[in-house]
A and B are shown apart, each in its own frame.
Chain A
Amino acid sequence: MQLTRPRRRRATASRLATAVVALASFAAPGSPPAAGDDQVRAAVTYFAEPAPNTNLNVVHPQVSYSQDFGDHFGLAVGYDADVVSGATPQVFGVDAVTAATKFTDARHNGSLGLRFLSEYATLRLGGGFAGEHDYRSGTVNAGITTELFDRNTQLSVDYTHNFDRVCDANNAANQELLELRALDSSELCFRKDSDQVATRKLAIDTAQITWTQVTTPWLLLQFGATGQVLRGFQANPYRQVLLGERAVQEHLPGVRNRIAPWARAKFALKPIRGSIEADLRGYFDSWSVKALTAELAWDQYIARPIVLRARARWHMQDSALFYRDGNQYASSGPIGSYWTGDRELSALFNSVYGVKATYFIKSRGKQFLRFIDQFVISAKADMIFYRSRTANPQFSPNYDRTKGLLDAVVIQAQAGFDF
């Protein structure tokens, strides 16, 4: 079996690319702090996927600040980072686990948002930049929200554009797809004096519409849809797929069109001071990935200042049109001219079960500090279970991480204050 030479660093560019998209494009329209909230928050999230050979650990610190200045202007500033370490297969194939390689990486992301408020609408403008050794992403976004019918109806439209650049091996001299070689180090990335690496572009356009409706004093509904078009390099430049006996860099289509409609409902349990939320999301894309996600959550006051939240989430998806398992790629080769070793593109079922506690400490008479209204402290834990829905799960990507009783855990601690 062909192996790449040892790498000094191994960045999960594809994953982080997706993360940047998620943070910059999808979270941005709905990112708190909400208009009108003057607040500071800081959180640290620890994510772990324990596995004998291919473990993954991520520490994700976040800080946000938001404040309105007068009646017509608001400002939001955010920062987050990923510190990633673990081990992952260099080559997706039938014996991938034995070829796992250790890696570490760090990503930093900063964002700035402006709000312009009027009697009729709120306009949001913002941007951000995320960077790591082998991936850079710039974003600009704009959105508008208006309230109608005695403020019982809220309509929002948001748009984000990503200007992303991905470091890749310089494959200009390789005319055949089967000659594509993977990036083996990020050391020379984004340096103009190197001909061993190349910079590939990825442009992402994301639009989202949202309709939120107060229907009764005890029921809120929300409907919406997110559409996204990605154009450019979308593969993980480090990942190789074993086609026959040859390890070739992952090769994905250059265009991906996505759409995700959703519906949400929030139901007040007034007699017991609680609420129930139900979410349903569909997803379709031009790579033939189809998915359905459902989530239930129950928030409950335990004594006045403490809220407990329990939630469950289920996600089921089909595989991409060109996905094959490691054994099929090795024995029969790819379908067409695309191949992948990405778990995200395989048929799978994920479930999440979690609890969260939030403690609100009101500043009576503002005795802590004159300008602080309330302190907020929270802690949460989620358990994640992965199940492959492929015919031969043992040959699916990251199978090593799906064999445990508990496949992943997310722990978050958060503190902040409103003023």
Chain B
Amino acid sequence: MHSRSRSEPPRRVVLGLAVLLAPLVGGCARAVLPSEKAYLADPIMQFDPDGLEASANAHVFSNREGAAGGTGTAGGGCGCN
């Protein structure tokens, strides 16, 4: 019977990371050109485009859940500011 050594990461974790990072690696392989970022500049492609809403959401959830932080950072989009 095949046994995995203790230091070897589980296959599911490796597979999950590979799936997660595949588009990242693909993206880095060829930089996205400024001319290709038109749609990324749209407000609906921003993380947390509405700051007051994001702040109010964090306010509500931090008062009702034991977890806090890890809510991400605004911005993203075209990265062309």
Contacts and interface: CB of A to CB of B under 8 A. Distances in A.
Interface string B52-65: 11111011111111
Q: Which 3 interchain pairs have the tightest Cβ spacing? A: A32-B51, A260-B70, A215-B27
Nearest to B36: A217
Contacts of B33: 150
Interface in A352-378: 356, 358, 378
A264 B31 contact: no
Interface string A262-286: 1110101010001101010111010
A35 interface: yes
Given A62-B56, A154-B79, A274 B68 contact: no
A151 to B, nearest CB: 4
A228 B68 contact: yes
Interface string B64-81: 111111111111111111
Contacts of A21: 62, 68
Contact of A315 (B32, B46, B47, B67): B67
B47 A277 contact: yes
Contacts of B74: 30-32, 34
B20 interface: yes
A326 B25 CA distance: 51
A30 B79 contact: no
Given A19-B62, A22-B68, A289-B66, A29 B76 contact: no
Bin chain B's interface residue count: 35 or more
B10 interface: no
26 contacts: A22-B61, A22-B63, A22-B68, A23-B59, A27-B55, A30-B72, A31-B54, A150-B32, A150-B33, A152-B28, A206-B69, A208-B69, A214-B79, A217-B39, A218-B39, A221-B24, A222-B73, A226-B69, A275-B44, A283-B70, A285-B67, A320-B66, A344-B65, A356-B53, A410-B60, A414-B52
Bin chain A's interface residue count: 35 or more
A317 interface: yes
Interface in A113-152: 147, 149-152
Contact of A30 (B24, B45, B48, B66): B48
B47 A264 contact: yes
Interface stretch (A41-49, A163-171, A185-193, A240-248): A41-49
A218 B73 CA distance: 19
B9 interface: no
Contacts of A227: 69
A67 interface: no
Interface string B9-52: 00000000000100110111001111011011011111111111
Given A215-B24, A348-B65, A45 B70 contact: no
Given A226-B70, A282-B70, A299-B44, 12 more contacts: A18-B68, A29-B73, A30-B74, A150-B31, A154-B76, A214-B37, A221-B23, A221-B24, A262-B70, A275-B45, A277-B47, A412-B56
A151 B80 contact: yes
A32 B67 contact: no
A23 B55 contact: yes
B79 A350 contact: no
B22 to A, nearest CB: 9
Given A32-B49, A43-B53, A152-B31, A212 B68 contact: no
Given A21-B68, A215-B26, A266 B76 contact: yes
Contacts of A307: 43-44
Interface string A208-247: 1010111111111110111110000000000000000000
